[in-house]
Amino acid sequence: MDAVFTHCAGLDVHKKSVTVCRLVSDSTGQNPEGVAELRTFGTMTIELLALADWLLEAGVTHIAMESTGEYWKPVYNLLEGVVTIFLVNASHVKNVPGRKTDPADARWLAKLMRYGLLQASFIPPVAQRDLRDLTRYRTKLVQERAREVNRVQGVLERANIKLASVASDVLGVSGRAMLEALIAGQTDPAAMAALAKRRMRSKIPALEQALTGRVRDHHRHLLTLQLRHIDFLETQIEALNSAIASCMTTLSQEAVADTTPSSPTPADVPPPAEPLPPLPSPVLLRSWIRSPASINGARK
């Protein structure tokens, strides 16, 4: 099988180390499968920069690594734009059973990369990755706020306060005013029910019954902590909303700039790229992977 990428590498990434197999075509022609070199690097920034230098000194243009948790991201951050990175699904590149070692995995990835047998996962640009981090973190905070509201309702139930049975939103304008009065030591249900606003005033008789309970200082202390936590979460969510809006504006401006037509000069027009050789057929690929030669190569 002909090599698609003559200068490539496979990376087996872990939390504290990266095992690299650098696979370069043999200029003498004595080794058609290429010359493989193995080396292990740490995952500190200075060590990853040394890894990049080691790859570039051999002219490596393409690398492959598995998408294992969060550990691939520091490597990707430093190699992005330096070489072409194929981030592959670990289930698609399983090594030979019984030969699961870091050097064997790195060698196997490099070999698959050499012959163009890997499919890269989509990695969005940096701006989109930043936006995704913001939106995902916002989702976590919204979920945490919902859990904290449920804890408030649990404390009220344990204090025989059935506010949630009357008010659809315990932390609405009316509900929050009643909770603050409850925390301040108010024990008169009629006085707390009188704090209802707008449409909630039609439910004052039901609110008086719902606010009749057995509230102790223990419950007031818990409610105070929980409401402070909810206020903090709401502040964080608002800050994330502003950051997301700013990020979206930047992305929109970049998209408009990218789609703006320009009149390139002949010198700016890049030459047509040479097409990559076609991938082998699935039947040929399966036969090559299962052949004794390919398995023995992976074991070396």
Residue 295 in this model has a pLDDT that exceeds 50: no
- 200's tokens: 């909630």
CA distance 196 to 150: 21
b/e per residue 169-178 (b: at least 16 CB within 10 A): ebbeebbebb
pLDDT digits (tens, 9 = 90+) for 115-169: 999 988 899 888 899 999 999 999 999 999 999 999 999 999 999 999 999 998 9
Q: 87-96, 147-156, 250-259, 287-296: lowest mean pLDDT where?
A: 287-296
- Domain positions in the chain are 7-117+280-299, 127-257
Q: How confident is the model at residue 32 (pLDDT cuts 50, 70, 90)?
A: confident
Q: What is the pLDDT of residue 282?
A: 45
CB 235 within 8 A of CB 167: no
176: three-class secondary structure by DSSP: helix
Average pLDDT over residues 278-297: 47
CA distance 116 to 100: 22
Residue 296 in this model has a pLDDT that exceeds 90: no
* Rounded (5°) CA angle 19-22-27: 165
Q: 16-20, 33-37, 223-227, 275-279: lowest mean pLDDT where?
A: 275-279
CA distances from 276 to 65, 110, 123, 279, 286 (A): 21, 18, 21, 9, 21
Strands in 17-24's sheet, in edge-to-edge order, are 35-42, 17-24, 7-13, 62-66, 84-88
pLDDT digits (tens, 9 = 90+) for 162-193: 999 999 899 999 999 999 999 999 999 999 99
Q: What is the pLDDT of residue 69?
A: 84
CA distance 279 to 4: 9
* Cβ burial, residue 43 (10 Å; 0-12/13-18/19+): middle
Q: What is the pLDDT of residue 251?
A: 86
Residue 65 in this model has a pLDDT that exceeds 60: yes
Report percent pLDDT > 70 for the chain: 83
CA distance 211 to 118: 65
Q: How confident is the model at residue 94 (pLDDT cuts 50, 70, 90)?
A: confident
Average pLDDT over residues 208-218: 94
274 compared with 81, residue with greater pLDDT: 81
pTM score, two decimals? 0.73
Report percent pLDDT > 90 for the chain: 63
Q: What is the pLDDT of residue 257?
A: 75
CA distances from 253 to 128, 131, 257, 263 (A): 13, 14, 6, 20
Residue 300 in this model has a pLDDT that exceeds 70: no
- Chain mean pLDDT for the chain: 85
CA distance 178 to 180: 5
Q: What is the pLDDT of residue 254?
A: 78
In angstroms and rounded to an integer, the radius of gyration of the C-alpha atoms of the chain is 31
> Domain 7-117+280-299 belongs to what topology?
Nucleotidyltransferase; domain 5 (3.30.420)
Q: What is the pLDDT of residue 163?
A: 93
Average pLDDT over residues 66-92: 89
